[in-house]
Amino acid sequence: MTDVSASTSGDAPETTDAVGTTDAPAAQPVDNSGDNPGRPVDEDVDGAASEGSAASSPEAGTAESPSASRLEEEGDIAADYIEELLDISDLDGDIDIEVRNGRTYLSVIAEEGDDRLRDLVGPEGKGLEALQELVRLAVLSATGNRSRLVLDIAGHRAQRAGELETLAQEAIAEVRESRQPVHLKPMGAYERKIVHDVIADAGLVSESEGEGPRRHVVVSAGD
């Protein structure tokens, strides 16, 4: 049976029994986005207010953060959606929900010795990213609100964060030596944010350039 645990800002998680269903999970977007009705949360929405350590848009930081209760509701909806998916796929995993820093984080944790959840992650995490968008659409359909929820499966994002930090440190060393900008490979908004934070901590400058799948981080000395 899948267990669901929830915590807010580091509080001890409370575990409850999850209730399985047999219907396939469905996420139907609603008309709630002005000129782009039903559009899923994309890179710009996901990272506009928080991404980048050098140049932020004039609107950055002005958006009101969602309430803790709304984020907890997002977590519950997302957990139900993922639980249905696991049931349909005949997979086992514990679902952990955490609310921190104005976001909902949902982690699907594999049972010891069971690597089947990694199949959902897919090559280069593309399966995970697709599932995250489906989960966000499920939240949008249920609440009418866009979500910045972050989904992790089998610890992939934690592992990837370590790889991104190493990548950022290599770029920092190169910029300090050459004093020339370094362009990193394209990556999603969440991963770019991790890189931006590492660059900022090192006292250098970073910004995102490009559009869509070509959007990437550029690291410079800021001279």
Residue 120: pLDDT band with limits 50, 70, 90: very high
> Would you place residue 25 in the very low, low, confident or very high pLDDT band (cuts 50, 70, 90)?
low
Q: Are 186 and 214 in contact (CB under 8 A)?
A: yes
CATH fold of 158-220 reads Ribosomal Protein S8; Chain: A, domain 1 (3.30.1370)
34 contacts 126 by C-beta, under 8 angstroms: no
In the chain, where are the structural domains located?
A: 3-154, 158-220
Instruction: Evaluate if residue 2 carries a pLDDT over 80.
Output: no
Query: Which residue intervals of the chain are DSSP H helices?
Result: 43-47, 68-89, 118-121, 126-143, 156-178, 189-201
Distance CA 178, CA 153 (A): 38
Rounded average pLDDT over 43-72? 55
- Looking at residue 172, its pLDDT comes to 98
Q: In which region does residue 9 sit, left (phi positive, over 0), alpha (psi from -120 to 50) or beta (all else)?
A: left
Torsion of CA 171, 176, 177, 180, to 10 degrees: 70
Residue 115: the pLDDT is 87
Structure confidence at residue 42 (pLDDT): 38
- Of residues 111 and 55, more confidently modeled: 111
Bridge partners, 104 (sequence order)? 99
Report the range of poorest mean pLDDT among 20-24, 79-83, 153-157, 183-187. Answer: 20-24
Residue 6 banded pLDDT, cuts 50, 70, 90: low
> pLDDT averaged over the chain?
80
The CA distance from 183 to 47, in Å, is: 19
Least confident of 54-68, 73-87, 150-164: 54-68
User: How far is Cα 78 from Cα 97, in angstroms, rounded to an integer?
Assistant: 9
Q: Residue 93 and residue 77: Cα distance in Å, rounded? A: 17
The SS3 call for residue 61 is: coil
Would you say residue 133 has pLDDT above 70? yes
Q: What is the rounded distance in angstroms from the CA atom of residue 90 to the CA atom of residue 24?
A: 12
